[in-house]
Amino acid sequence: MTSSYTILLLFQVQIHSIIFVSQDLVVLYIKDMLHSEPLLHLTNSGFTDSVWAPIKSKGGTSIIGVCYKSTSSTDPNNVKLLQLLEEATQQPHRHIIIL
């Protein structure tokens, strides 16, 4: 676990990116020139494997989310994913990208 974390930090320095990591190690890399902050209310919404951040540009704000649904995900966790996606679409944004 420690060696993986070290690799992420080295990678961050090399590509000059902001790295957002969920509690279950879902990772979102964003180029640091985009000045993004994590959307904690979405990342910590109750669905166990997601991380979210806005990207601001002249045209408006876009939201990027990375979600991982395990094949062994429970029914309650699946419901939380659907609720999370609904909440994400209600955020002020120009575009939303979900991976």
Q: What is the pLDDT of residue 80?
A: 95
Q: What is the pLDDT of residue 82?
A: 95
C-alpha to C-alpha distance for 74 and 79, rounded to whole angstroms: 9
Global pTM value = 0.74
Structure tokens at 93: 């944004």
Instruction: Give the chain's residues under pLDDT 70.
Output: 1-24
Q: What is the pLDDT of residue 1?
A: 38
CB neighbour list of residue 84: distance below 8 Å, 6 or more residues apart: 42, 45, 46, 47, 50, 67
